[in-house]
Chains A and B, each alone.
Chain A
Amino acid sequence: MKRTDYPAVGETLYTAALSNGLPIFVVPKKGYRKCFAAFVTHYGGADRCFVLEGAEKDTPAGVAHYLEHKMFDMPEGNVLMRMEATGANANAFTSEAVTAYYFTCTQRFEEDLRLLLRFVSTPYFTQESVDKERGIISQEIRMYEDDPDDQVYMNLMRLLFAHNPLRDDVAGSVQSIQDITPQVLYDCHRMFYCPSNMALCVVGDVDPEAVERIAAEVLPAEKSPVPGRDYGPAESLEPVEKRCERRMEVSAPIFLAGLKLGAEPTGPEGQRERLIGSLALRCLYGKSSPAYLRLYDEGLLNATFSAGADYAAGEGFVVFGGESRDPDAVAKALLEAAADVGKNGFDPDLFQRQKKAVYGGRIRALGDFRGLGVAIAEGAFAGYQPLDGFQVLETITCDDASAWVRDHLVPERAALSVVLPREARG
């Protein structure tokens, strides 16, 4: 395996690529009992349209997530129980862009790793088990329907995007999952769970060579082509609509504003672009930014506020929101703060100390095994290595951050989603 050292932050990365196209990443952590491993496919809720044997397939919303639930079924039974029987804590999640299967364990790592690789590469679906899961997933969807944060987010996506699948919830709807059959799951597995479309990331006190050896043993040797996906025609930079609201059982208004960033940036240049964005957002809307502190002091924002950029399904977008008694005033004030930076630039002192804080935050993040492992997989799919970020961060200037705000955070690209409390019954 190839070894890369990051002496300034005390990390080492081992990488390899198997003949079947699977990239492997190992970050050894000396002295830790805990090991984390994630087997991640570059396939998420947004990957709904693709070409299979020359035919265009359009799958229902929620397939990737449904597949995630059913992957744990093996001919010999549910593998989640088997992994727990070794003491491992196994789980999975589906986002718009990826599906990740992972475990943490403190013993019998190699056994668990074999199990992980084997069950994720073994599709086994019966009509009965697929039908049975519908009740469980319906309850999961029902849970999201009652979750105001989830609802305010989905409504925002529908404001921002005209046709991109980001408009649909990753889990789909109770309606859309009715049409999911074992055959649909088999097709999607065949397309997207080939090693060349996946990444294996391990963080812990393990032997990197052993990880590579086990993966080569368990997984098929042949290389399958990486499927192309279709998110429809390019989105414009402007939202479909500017504002929406709905009423739910909440104590105070909840809001989420979003701005479209355009095409998802990839490769090392894309990494730099993303880092500039996250640093700029911290300076502009972070918990120590002048805008946040002023609105907090005025009682218009509280600690539920957060801001960040996200990239999926070929698109980039910024979201910021939280609770506020006056969402429209807050959104307006925050966009004005962006306009002001666009005009005058960031205060260089503010930028320098925020950069220091970002360094500290990234050091802290190295202790989060799951976060690190998943970030490395996502980075692999977008063509960059997150651990290079420390060095890239050094090169980012105050002007870079100011220019990013000026070029991206303009009011024409913004939309506002609001959830209001129910009106008093009477």
Chain B
Amino acid sequence: MRETRREVLPGVYLTCLQTDKFKTDILSVNLLTRLTRETAAQNALIPSVLRRGTVRWPDMDALAARLDGLYGARIEPTVRKKGEIQCVGFWADFVDDAWLPGGESLLEPVAELLGQLLLEPNTRGGLLLPQYVESEQQKLLEDIRARVNDKISYSRYRMTELMCPGEDYAVDVLGDEEQAESINYVALTRHYRALLASSPAEIFYCGSAEPARVERAVKEALATLPRGELDMDIGTDIRMNTVEEQPRVFTEELDVTQGKLAIGYRLGEVMEQPDMAALQVMNAVFGGYVSSKLFMNVREKLSLCYFASSGLDVMKGVMAVISGIEVSDYDKALAEIQRQLQAVKDGDITDEELNAAKLGLINDLLSAADSAGGLESFWLGQNLLGLEYGPEEMAALVEDVTKEDAVRAARTIQCDAVYFLRGTEEDAEDEEN
């Protein structure tokens, strides 16, 4: 696999992985912008509105017919939150040249269509079509309101929001309902033009095409991308200490049978010079896998839950634990989770635990290198962190992490917020009756 990275337009970087391993190629274009409460919903809406129609393919019927004709190539809106950066754009995958029946080639037509979607929307009088904006605005509102449907991700989202008041990180990737409601097509068009002109961008390709050919296709597709004054002031503020001395506790009620416990932590001063591999190993020992302390104790030993796991955001320097428990087990589960974290901090880690954690991470990293989608996501993260190594090299770094490194990575972790989602009192009474 050959990896290249070049600035193809001002502030626009193309990462190319040339390989004939995959039968499906990936091409993604991500505009990078600051995640803020004021703009998140607008940014999230833009690719969906653009996906409704272009000058050449004016509606979804025309686009669908075009994409089906390209052997079911997919070009879909993508909106991702990476720390306090919102990445918006399009994500395409399509059959690699080698496996097309008639010796056809899809890179150029897919890149062209992606460029048209981004830069040549169906407009009237220079404005995005109001019916497209309103229709997609409704769907965005539906998506925002639907957050509550999945109680696990909802608990994580609410915990993050409550833990980080005043930080951009509190903002959900889709923005909030109030902002989404206030959008209108005139303001959105203005915002769209500004976003295009001011955003740096990350483009990623993985497939069999030569980098020079990819660069040509991309440059041609994005030839009319306006380049104004670029907002290079994007990044993530890392808060080292907790908001209050003691963890803040939040309880909310919904009509549910199972309680969801979400706990937020700040990684603390270790984020001044973060050792990425050690942080990952620390998290894996604590709650990343089924051999981890959380699973082994909260689930296997105490039978308190079906799932209990921890996850890191190394860009923001935070860690989250999520578990689904009986409401009455709240104290027991919380105490056990905190006890297991203390064990990691105290270096109470066996060689087996450390090895299983490292091997699990290495397996994940090498597996990511075996899928075009895995590579896309990995490299977007690396590029935003300014890191230049690939998954294989990251795996080698993980291999070298010692128990002391992992303990050091846990040293300054502090619990900042405990969120508990429980059933309504009313329902609890119903059950008793």
State whether these chains interact.
Answer: yes
* Distance of B62 from chain A, by nearest CB (Å): 10
Expressed in whole angstroms, the Cα–Cα distance for A251 and B73 within the complex equals: 32
Expressed in whole angstroms, the Cα–Cα distance for A251 and B94 within the complex equals: 34
Contacts A85-B352, A290-B61, A299-B138; A34 near B366 (Cβ below 8 A): yes
Interface hit among B16-24, B195-203, B268-276: B16-24
Among B60, B67, B291, point to the contact of A84 (Cβ < 8 A): B291
Contacts of B355 in A (CB 8 A): 85
- The answer to whether A142 and B363 have CB atoms under 8 Å apart is no
Contacts of B135 in A (CB 8 A): 297, 299
Expressed in whole angstroms, the Cα–Cα distance for A105 and B362 within the complex equals: 10
Contacts A84-B289, A135-B304, A249-B256; A364 near B145 (Cβ below 8 A): no
* Distance of A254 from chain B, by nearest CB (Å): 8
- In this assembly, does B151 line the interface, its C-beta being within 8 Å of a C-beta of chain A? yes
Expressed in whole angstroms, the Cα–Cα distance for A163 and B257 within the complex equals: 28
Contacts of A85 in B (CB 8 A): 291, 352, 355-356, 359
* Distance of B89 from chain A, by nearest CB (Å): 17
Interface hit among A180-188, A214-222, A354-362, A399-407: A354-362
- In this assembly, does B120 line the interface, its C-beta being within 8 Å of a C-beta of chain A? no
Q: Which residue from chain A places its CB closest to the CB of B73 in the assembled complex?
A: A360
Interface hit among B167-175, B367-375, B404-412: B367-375
* Distance of B203 from chain A, by nearest CB (Å): 21
* Distance of B265 from chain A, by nearest CB (Å): 23
- The answer to whether B23 and A366 have CB atoms under 8 Å apart is yes
Contacts of A361 in B (CB 8 A): 72
- In this assembly, does A323 line the interface, its C-beta being within 8 Å of a C-beta of chain B? yes
- The answer to whether A104 and B68 have CB atoms under 8 Å apart is no
- The answer to whether A81 and B73 have CB atoms under 8 Å apart is no
CB proximity to A under 8 Å, residues B298-322: 299-300, 303-307
- The answer to whether A356 and B360 have CB atoms under 8 Å apart is no
Contacts A9-B99, A249-B255, A367-B23; A302 near B72 (Cβ below 8 A): no
- The answer to whether B291 and A81 have CB atoms under 8 Å apart is yes
Q: State the interface size on chain A (CB cutoff 8 A).
A: 64
Among B71, B359, B362, point to the contact of A359 (Cβ < 8 A): B71
Give B residues with C-beta under 8 Å from A. Answer: 21-24, 59-61, 64-65, 67-73, 93-95, 98-99, 101, 135, 138-139, 142-143, 145-151, 254-258, 289-291, 296, 299-300, 303-307, 324-326, 352, 355-356, 359-360, 362-364, 366-367, 369-372
Give A residues with C-beta under 8 Å from B. Answer: 8-10, 31-34, 78, 80-81, 84-89, 104-107, 132-137, 139-140, 142-143, 145-148, 248-252, 254, 287-288, 290, 293, 296-297, 299, 302-304, 323, 353-354, 356-361, 363-364, 366-367, 422
Q: Give 5 CB contacts A-B under 8 Å.
A: A86-B359, A107-B363, A249-B255, A353-B68, A359-B72
Other 9 A-B pairs with CB < 8 A, given A33-B366, A146-B257, A251-B142:
A33-B367, A89-B367, A136-B306, A249-B149, A297-B135, A302-B139, A356-B71, A360-B72, A364-B72
